[in-house]
Chain A
């Protein structure tokens, strides 16, 4: 009687598929690009750099999806917080205060989501979508739909500074830290395990002493906070709190999550796979840009990738579903 040790667990079927896919993508683009420019350090930096903001949104929604929930307000939340952050700075508020205040606003929106879902009883899909609409509207109202410049030297330093000969953006460090933190949290702590159990069978978890409602609140508030952070980091990178902000990055994040094995059904997936999923998507998009492929094809390619992710998810669920009916 033994238990399969970590190494074997890590390299399960799904991870191998993902890694193979990643290798194919990287190899193909390196070969096709001029002098293998795809793999130049600066371009690798480009790929990772673009993952920063999206990864925060992915972490936010990923934790929730594992618990069997969904949050469609991350994009709108982040955008609103980005613009509020810029407004606070513009109004002369010191950056640490503005930072904390904005994070609190994001968390408040998350708490509101949690209340709608847990107390009022709305479906998370609908509730968060509605909150997203409200947030979007508020974004327009916030500064009359005009972008707010960000000039605070500390914030702009965080947003634009790069170490090691222009190769390691500060924001990337922040994203990596966040990613590692949440991977460990979900994978190795009591809290993380509880989230998986709730996602797997909420009632069974409750009847074993876990508090689904409390954890739901924590996850929604966490999602709100990460969304706010994403909006803040974006504003720092752009040196501007924009009206469109992170809204468009929301679904890319969910695609990466699904590709990485986080299922809409809840209770499965790990951020290791999600990370590889993000690498594949961003590496793919970057590769197409490097090759100068027209935007039409880029949209088509992204669509194909999304279809692929959905197929992977579907096949995964079907495989488990099939096993259930076998037992009879």
Chain B
């Protein structure tokens, strides 16, 4: 019988928010369905309801003709639904085999026998998928990409009818993405129902058969991948014509004198990195994950120690031992991992914005809450941060607004940032806000700030930057201007050993 997953009339509301309204669609076995939508459109909620993490307020999910009623994620797993999340759900200390077949612990003297059997079964599965992984290796020693594949095999072994992927390609290199897509193709051939959630439109066109678009909790479009194009999708998701995102930007072409000079920078990861940044210039750093771009940012910012090399700001050599030194000199960093390194999630918007300027918002011995509010409100207005009050906990904001808070922190009225380093600023942000961020970056440059723009999205880097620096394995492999650059050239340099 052909497998079939059907959502009928799904509704879900949270206090103050109707996350899902009347969702109806169907997916058949052997198909890959893309779930598209801006952040906050309801994709995650839908996935959670499907996986048993949440209960719908109304509506039904039917799998292969049987109505599903989950009271826990375990129920969903047993019913044949597996979700591969962005966060790994593996036990790092246990082996690949043990993770694929959880719940079968080796026992005592018989342990050896059971272990061997486990390895054999795991190896069968690994071969079936055409991978090269050692089943005995502790899962924690594998790269993120391969860990993900272990999870896929785990789901496969459960004989799940439905396998859903939530932003699976974020940490992967292009080579690894290819392997992943190959895996997905095999799963398709095995007749599984595949759901694919991602922001990367190019991938949607590569690997999916059908697309469902959510917007503000409603299902607004349903089409075959082969019958649609990027523009139409974007319009459906955002409801307006973005046009050519990059062409519409208000750019600044006034590039001034040299602001930052990095010469032969060496750290434990970097080798002989050199480049310059001018006032009003946007220097983009391109490269694959692990190329060393974040390390450059952190070294300049004083967050990591520098073993040799020279950094000059406005012609004067500087040695930053702590981030505070860098901040005082006018350098600012928006870290790669917004939640882990950029924000204090349980504190308010205001507290997050004023973090570097606490010393400047004092009246006598005490913090001046009024001044803090003013500065924050100003930033919120300037960047159109969607939040009802400045007291809202940042955890409750969407990814895009969170990023704006961090940008607001470094460019608030009391800050005198000269060099702004942005590490993956549009990661996990919806298309609409991305465009806003791009414009903000151009505006900063227009004010004379030197911007370092690190991104793994090739299109982004190539189209935003004035100059592009490409890195691989801790070294700079090439530099070029925006006029010279093409995505192919940059990619070639990014993979150059």
Contact = CB atoms under 8 A, between A and B. Distances in A.
Interface in B315-333: 322-324, 327-328, 333
A119 interface: no
Q: Tell me the interface secondary structure of chain A in the complex.
A: helix
Q: Which of B301, B327, B358 has the most CB of A within 10 A?
A: B358
B367 interface: yes
B346 interface: yes
Interface in B338-360: 340-347, 350-351, 355-356, 358-359
A13 to B, nearest CB: 14
B184 interface: no
A159 B254 CA distance: 73
B347 A209 contact: no
A267 B347 contact: yes
A196 B345 CA distance: 12
A142 interface: no
Nearest to B333: A207
A211 B302 CA distance: 12
A189 B367 contact: yes
Interface stretch (B114-122, B243-251, B390-398): B390-398
Interface residues on B, range: 35 or more
Given A2-B389, A207-B335, A320-B395, A328 B44 contact: yes
B377 A323 contact: no
A327 interface: yes
A301 interface: no
B362 A211 contact: no
Contacts of A40: none
Contact of A205 (B47, B344, B395): B344
A194 B391 CA distance: 17
A3 B391 contact: yes
A268 interface: yes
A313 to B, nearest CB: 14
B48 interface: yes
Contacts of B350: 3
Contacts of A211: 322, 324
Interface string A227-269: 0000000000000000000000000000000000000000110
Contact of B341 (A207, A210, A324): A207
Interface in A180-215: 184, 188-190, 193-194, 196-197, 200-201, 203-211
A211 B355 CA distance: 12
A4 interface: yes
B380 interface: yes
Interface residues on A, range: 20 to 34
A197 B44 contact: no
B401 to A, nearest CB: 11
A194 B324 CA distance: 13
Contact of B345 (A3, A189, A324, A325): A324
A328 to B, nearest CB: 3
B323 A328 contact: no
A188 B367 contact: yes
Interface of B: 14, 43-45, 47-48, 53, 166, 301, 303, 322-324, 327-328, 333, 335, 340-347, 350-351, 355-356, 358-359, 362, 365-367, 369, 373, 377, 380-381, 389-391, 395-396, 398, 409
Given A190-B358, A205-B355, A267-B346, 17 more contacts: A1-B377, A1-B390, A3-B389, A3-B390, A194-B358, A197-B347, A200-B344, A204-B341, A204-B355, A207-B341, A208-B409, A209-B324, A209-B327, A268-B346, A326-B44, A326-B45, A327-B395
11 contacts: A190-B367, A193-B367, A197-B347, A201-B340, A204-B341, A204-B355, A207-B303, A207-B335, A210-B324, A327-B396, A328-B166
